[in-house]
């Protein structure tokens, strides 16, 4: 009989004991794999934050934030100045527009003039030019829109204008949103050359659905026909009520060549953000630009995520060690039970490595069965375990974030942006930051069981199983056969 066949047969010699051993191993292995999955998920989120939002600065015209702001517009020359600062990896200019439906508005019964709904004129700091479009906004004004739009009209005569929310349009110099995060294009392609004035657009999903637009459809802005190159998903209805065009095209529509509404400055690492912020501010001048880091709460969020990552790794090692101890104890018991069998094998000329291999293969059979059940347990429990670990840190993080102040309020480019920001600062639901605040950042971590993570975890378990089985088998195999048989 071959060593493999004998090992598999020995593993199922006592079926009740085998079932009990597999059950215990499955729990330990499942816990270890779940911790590894949680560690991988948290590590991916930390990497995502460090690589995108956590390393960006927003540059606005000095005094240009808020609807009462002023100041001088930024220019492409100032973008080049910012790009020359040490530790700056990229500078993306933006030009903000507000698209007002051409048919929005009613005739005043007293004056006979047409009145536009909310959004007409210029936006924060005079940076958001309003242009017309034949698109219909995907967001209805509703009670809040009508209430906000009628503010300050007390005492006027005539019919109130039809309330139509504007559509946010942004000219951008790269395939990112207004926070520097890569656009999630769900169909079609990007705009290609973002430095050229081309009549191509990216349209948000809700706006596309409202106007029955698909890739290749056309619509007009300022009586110019634009073609939909792609559809993007910003994650919110407000963020998807938006259009992206190339930066030169937006500057042409606004009739402000070389002017920028804001700049997104990406720094090479989080450690250099503070020093780079100061350097960019000095290079541009405090009278020309306001440089803000709207993600200060991310430092607390990343710190908490790092804590969860460390805890999950320690728990993985502990669960792995537990599985190893279980295997070691089981194999010690099996080796002691089969001392006579080992003596006979030694007496007929079996080598130590053959005896050791037999017990290693037997333990691997048990571990393989436990790993299958453990993988199922991990796939079911990893999400709950990750949430439990994260929730223990999120309360402290959220409290700290509240004390420091809300996320991106006032740091977004000129009020409403396609990333979901609201005019005047803050985000929907009162949550700060591009991901809805530190608390939401923590709870947004998704633990998904990937084949690579499972393979790495199971490989670690098998390595521990080999050690746990080999040690007692080799120690016993080194004893002379006569000593083993005499003790029986």
So where are the chain's domains? 3-50+301-486, 73-287
pLDDT > 50? residue 368: yes
**Contact (CB, 8 A) for 56 and 264:** yes
The three-class DSSP label of residue 73 is coil
Tens of pLDDT, residues 408-461: 333 333 333 333 333 333 333 333 333 334 444 555 556 566 777 778 888 888
pLDDT > 80? residue 406: no
Read off the pLDDT of each residue in 197-215 and give the average, rounded to a whole number.
92
How many whole angstroms separate alpha carbon 262 and alpha carbon 273?
A: 18
With b meaning 16 or more CB within 10 Å and e meaning fewer, what string describes 141-162? beeebeeebeeeeeeeeeeebb
Q: Which residues make beta-bridge pairs with 98?
A: 130, 168
- Which band of pLDDT confidence, cut at 50, 70 and 90, is reported for residue 483? low
Number of H helices, E strands in the chain: 13, 15
Query: Minimal CA–CA distance to 175: which of 199, 188, 198, 191?
Result: 191
Q: What per-residue confidence (pLDDT) applies to 464? A: 84
Q: What per-residue confidence (pLDDT) applies to 312? A: 81
Most confident of 104-108, 231-235, 344-348: 231-235
In the chain, pLDDT over 70 holds for what percent of residues? 66
Q: What per-residue confidence (pLDDT) applies to 415? A: 35
Read off the pLDDT of each residue in 245-269 and give the average, rounded to a whole number.
89
Average pLDDT, the chain: 74
Return the residue matching tokens 């480019």.
Answer: 413
Read off the pLDDT of each residue in 339-355 and give the average, rounded to a whole number.
74
Q: Which residues make beta-bridge pairs with 263?
A: 59, 93
How many whole angstroms separate alpha carbon 49 and alpha carbon 407?
A: 14
- Which band of pLDDT confidence, cut at 50, 70 and 90, is reported for residue 214? very high
- Which band of pLDDT confidence, cut at 50, 70 and 90, is reported for residue 225? very high
Residue 190 CB burial class (10 angstroms; 0-12, 13-18, ≥19): middle
- Which band of pLDDT confidence, cut at 50, 70 and 90, is reported for residue 487? low
Q: What per-residue confidence (pLDDT) applies to 256? A: 87
More confident residue, 245 or 62: 245
The answer to whether the pTM exceeds 0.75 is: no
Residues 6+ apart with CB under 8 A from 259: 73, 74, 75, 95, 251
- Which band of pLDDT confidence, cut at 50, 70 and 90, is reported for residue 482? low
**Contact (CB, 8 A) for 62 and 286:** yes
More confident residue, 143 or 451: 451
If you ran DSSP here, which 8-state letter would residue 96 be given? Answer: E
Tens of pLDDT, residues 275-330: 999 999 999 998 889 998 755 556 666 677 777 778 888 888 888 888 888 888 88
In the chain, pLDDT over 90 holds for what percent of residues? 15
More confident residue, 456 or 473: 456
- Which band of pLDDT confidence, cut at 50, 70 and 90, is reported for residue 361? confident
């Amino acid at each position: 009989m071959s060593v493999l066949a004998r090992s598999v047969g020995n593993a199922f010699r006592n079926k009740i004991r085998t079932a009990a051993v597999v059950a215990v191993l499955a729990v330990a292995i499942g816990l270890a794999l779940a911790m590894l999955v949680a560690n991988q998920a948290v590590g991916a989120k930390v990497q995502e934050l460090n690589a995108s939002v956590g390393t960006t600065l927003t540059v606005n015209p000095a005094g240009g934030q808020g609807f009462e702001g002023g100041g001088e517009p930024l220019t492409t020359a100032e973008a080049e100045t910012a790009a020359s600062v040490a530790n700056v990896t990229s500078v993306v200019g933006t030009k903000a527009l507000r698209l007002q439906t051409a048919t929005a508005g009613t005739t005043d019964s007293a004056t006979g003039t047409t009145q536009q709904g909310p959004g007409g004129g210029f936006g924060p700091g005079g940076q958001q030019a309003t242009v017309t479009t034949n698109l219909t906004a995907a967001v209805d004004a509703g009670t809040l829109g009508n209430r906000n739009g009628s503010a300050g009209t007390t005492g006027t005569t005539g019919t109130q204008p039809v309330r139509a929310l504007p559509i946010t349009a942004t000219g951008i110099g790269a395939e990112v949103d207004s926070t520097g995060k890569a656009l999630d294009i769900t169909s079609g392609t990007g705009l290609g050359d973002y430095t050229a004035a081309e009549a191509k657009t990216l349209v948000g999903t809700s706006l596309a659905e409202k106007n029955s637009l698909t890739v290749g459809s056309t619509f007009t802005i300022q009586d110019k026909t634009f073609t939909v190159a792609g559809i993007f998903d910003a994650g919110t209805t407000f963020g998807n009520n938006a259009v992206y065009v190339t930066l030169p095209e937006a500057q042409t529509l606004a009739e402000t060549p070389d002017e920028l509404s804001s700049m997104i400055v990406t720094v090479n690492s989080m450690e250099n953000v503070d020093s780079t912020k100061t350097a960019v501010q000095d290079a541009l001048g405090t009278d020309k630009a306001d440089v803000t880091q709207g993600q200060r709460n991310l430092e607390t969020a990343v710190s908490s995520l790092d804590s969860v990552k460390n805890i999950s790794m320690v728990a993985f090692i502990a669960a792995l060690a537990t599985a190893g101890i279980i295997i070691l104890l089981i194999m010690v018991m099996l080796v002691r039970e089969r001392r006579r069998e080992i003596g006979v094998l030694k007496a007929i000329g079996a080598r130590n490595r053959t005896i050791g291999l037999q017990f290693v293969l037997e333990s691997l059979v048990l571990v393989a069965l436990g790993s299958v059940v453990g993988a199922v347990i991990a796939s079911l429990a990893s999400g709950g375990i990750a949430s439990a670990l994260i929730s223990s840190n999120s309360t402290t993080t959220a409290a700290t974030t509240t004390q420091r102040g809300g996320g991106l309020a006032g740091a977004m480019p000129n009020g409403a942006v396609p990333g979901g920001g609201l005019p005047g600062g803050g985000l929907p639901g009162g949550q700060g930051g591009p991901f809805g605040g530190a608390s939401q950042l923590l709870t947004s971590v998704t633990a998904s069981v990937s084949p690579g993570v499972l393979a790495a975890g199971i490989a670690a378990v098998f390595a521990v199983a080999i050690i746990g089985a080999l040690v007692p088998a080799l120690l016993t195999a080194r004893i002379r056969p006569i000593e083993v048989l005499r003790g029986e």
